[in-house]
Amino acid sequence: MTAARHGQEREKIMIQIDNVGKEFVLHNQGGAVIPVMAGAHLTVAPGECVALVGASGAGKSTLMRMIYGNYLCDTGAIRVGGVDVAQASPREIIALRRAVLGYVSQFLRVVPRVPTVDVVAEPLLALGVAADTARARACALLARLNVPERLWSLSPTTFSGGEQQRVNIARGFVHPYPALLLDEPTASLDAANREVVLGLIEEAKARGAAIVGIFHDEGARTRVADREVDVRAFTPARAA
Amino acid sequence: MIAGPLFRVEGLTKRYGARIGCADVSFDLWPGEVMGIVGESGSGKTTLLNCMAGQLAPDAGRVLFDMRDRGMVDTVTMSEPDRRRLARTDWAFVHQHACDGLRMGVSAGGNVGERLMAVGARHYGDIRAAAIDWLDRVEIAADRVDDRPRAFSGGMQQRLQIARNLVTGPRLVFMDEPTGGLDVSVQARLLDLLRGLVREMGLSAIVVTHDLAVVRLLADRLMVMKDGRVVETGLTDQVLDDPQHGYTQLLVSSVLQV
């Protein structure tokens, strides 16, 4: 590949994973070493959605956490919009997460007693968006996700699983992140809300977001994912 | 606009006789960052905090602070009056026990107002208005302005201490177990308040605590201490979810789940 062509290719890539490997070392359990990933490769272009597939325990969530900088890499590089997450300082990863890289996890982790509307508006406030604008955008998204208005002023810690999931999704979509990680975004949602979330994902793709997702919901995967990547190809050979 | 770190610690060491308080601690803190320091009792985190905040003289090392026009200045070798001025202007210290950080015999309004007077405010009406505004920001009703802190609950005292410390618009806040000894419901409210203030004022903060749930919600970065030394540093959620050092793994796995 010529240098010029290589440059063009790189421009079209938002998330690039090269030869990533990881093992857990359990120091308090006899120093047991558990290899969880080896030789992982993945690229995602703007506007593209790549679905990670593979059985439970194959490493889908692990890979996603590594892209987010939540798990460290032992080898390889993970470039998200020009930042190598595998090498970046905490400060660079914080800045990346604030402006570029959104993440909808399966669990909602928030300060208890903070109203839902503020939980959703927080990513915008962190970016310096004015409080009333941020709240207005949060409310619009909560309404679209059918979270009843009487709940907006309450903390989401006491909400049902499906309601918490939608609050989490609202947080992940309130800012137009150029890169998005979605861990089971349609799990525990009814048909109507599943449809809203799939619509949000399609809109994010249309505005050019690069998305990596885990979808056990096969219909959702078929609809929004452009490609599937089987992470079993990255699972290290297990010692018998 | 942001040129460099706000605060830099280099090789900070404090011994108590032959015993190590903290040894060879170095890090940079940037504007707007919150760093948590965790470790069990006796790990040296409070010694380190006191050395950084100028409340304890270190045996070795430098503690540099960005003094705007004068650039990075070593606060360890700074004159005592200069350091005292720093401690009541650009720095603030929130103690674990509010009674260590408040004047218990002075009214709530006075506790906040005297900080303004210390930096030159003289107009009584302005000072009182600023004090009431700050009491409101920490959710203390205006009609309590003339009450003494002794008449306040533990959570209110802690919020008053925060108002007293932040009224002068510091750039760096040291906090020693700010939510320690409070009911969990009061802790949550205080955490939310601190997060909002950090964001709105662009504050940097260094928070010492043994409570991993507190640092997860409050700190961007984490430093784990054991026997006076830093054994692990990193992004808060990374250190808690993928701890590398055996001691951090033990700390994280020892937390009781509710």
B33 and A91 within 8 Å at the Cβ level: the answer is yes
Mean pLDDT of A95-122: 93
| Dist CA A127 CA A137 (whole Å) | 14
Q: Is pLDDT of A156 > 50?
A: yes
Q: What is the DSSP letter of A34?
A: E
Token pair, residue A148, equals: 């009843």
CB contact under 8 A, A112 and B199: no
Contact: B235, A27; criterion CB under 8 Å: no
- Answer yes or no: is pLDDT of A5 > 60: no
ipTM score: 0.91
Interface contact A71-B241, CB threshold 8 A: yes
pTM of the model: 0.91
Residue B229 and residue A2: Cα distance in Å, rounded?
50
Of B167, B169, B174, nearest to B201 (Cα)? Answer: B169
Q: What is the pLDDT of residues B115-162, one digit of tens each?
A: 999 888 999 999 999 999 999 988 899 999 999 999 999 889 999 999
Contacts for A118 with CB less than 8 Å, ≥ 6 apart:
A135, A138
Check if B137 contacts A (Cβ < 8 Å).
Answer: no
Residue A79's DSSP bridge partners are A16, A84
Closest chain A residue by Cα to residue B188: A112
Least confident of A36-40, B1-5, B18-22: B1-5
- Say yes or no for a CB contact (<8 Å) between B242 and A71: yes
Do residue A113 and residue B192 have CB atoms under 8 angstroms apart?
A: yes
* Distance of residue A191 Cα from the nearest chain B Cα, in angstroms: 32
Select the residue from B190, B192, B255 to test the A interface by mutation, using most A Cβ atoms within 10 A: B192
Asked if B85 contacts B159 with a C-beta cutoff of 8 angstroms, the reply is no
- Cα dihedral A181/A184/A190/A193 (nearest 10): 0
In the predicted structure, residue A54 carries a pLDDT above the cut 80? yes
pLDDT top residue among B113 and A9: B113
Per-residue pLDDT of A119-142, as tens digits, reads: 999 999 999 999 999 999 999 999
**CB-based contact (8 Å) between B183 and chain A?**
no
Tokens 């260590």 belong to residue: B100
Here the tokens at position B189 are 């409210």
According to the model, what pLDDT value does residue B258 have? Answer: 61
Q: How many beta-carbon pairs below 8 A join chains A and B? A: 58
Could B30 and A91 be called an inter-chain contact, meaning their C-beta atoms sit closer than 8 Å? yes
Find the CB nearest A93 among B33, B235, B241. Answer: B235
Q: How far apart are CA A237 and CA A38, in angstroms?
A: 9
Q: Across the interface, do A126 and B199 touch by the CB < 8 Å criterion?
A: yes
Residues of B in contact with A113 (CB under 8 A): 185, 188-189, 192
Query: DSSP code of B2?
Result: -
Question: In terms of DSSP H, where are the helices of chain B?
Answer: 45-52, 80-87, 98-101, 108-118, 124-137, 154-166, 184-201, 212-218, 236-241, 246-253
Tokens of A154: 């309450």
